[in-house]
Amino acid sequence: MAMVARFRVATRASGIRRQVWVHVYDDVDELARAHNKDRGRPYDPDEDIGGGLASVGGWHWPQPDPGPVLVMRLWTKQLTTRTVAHEATHAAAVLFFADHVGGWDSRARTFFLGDNETLAYLIGDITSEVIGGLYRLHLLPSS
Ligand SMILES: [Zn+2]
């Protein structure tokens, strides 16, 4: 079985209760296949993927469905702060622009639809470095 765990997280930070499914895989090819299938893209075995965020059914122009499913896919060998923060940023961008930014038909649309890779890398890198620094200073317990 390629998917080893599955759970949901929820937030009301955007003003509406929203959920993100988290699917954890031990087979990264299986992860990439599922991710690309949900995004309607072809599977590329050479794609470098340690995680992914897909909106499954629901982000249809001009109105989103009321209960779209966000699926975050993670690989057991890359369960890092960097990757989780990166994928969480993709999820947050979708919900932020859908629920919070007024005017669905705005220039922001392209960014919530997925043109937020740089933002995700920035937040992943910064979060990872800060957590690493806190560990080095023994302000977080090492397990
Ligand atoms: Zn990304």
Output the CA 142–ligand 1 centroid distance in Å: 27
| pLDDT per position as a tens digit, 69-125 | 899 999 999 999 999 999 999 999 888 888 887 666 777 777 777 788 999 999 999
- The angle formed by the CA atoms of residues 121, 90 and 142, to the nearest 5 degrees, is 60
Write out the two tokens for 37: 């299938």
Q: What are phi and psi of 74, to 5 degrees?
A: -125, 150
Beta strands in 48-138 (DSSP E): 51-56, 69-75
Output the CA 67–ligand 1 centroid distance in Å: 22
Q: Give the ranges where the chain is alpha helix by DSSP (H).
A: 28-39, 81-95, 109-112, 117-136
pTM of the model: 0.86
Output the CA 59–ligand 1 centroid distance in Å: 18
- How many helices and strands, by DSSP H and E, does the chain display? 4, 4
User: Residue 67 carries which side chain, given as an amino acid letter?
Assistant: G
Output the CA 60–ligand 1 centroid distance in Å: 21
Output the CA 18–ligand 1 centroid distance in Å: 20
Beta strands in the chain (DSSP E): 3-11, 18-25, 51-56, 69-75
Q: Can you give the pLDDT at residue 58?
A: 59
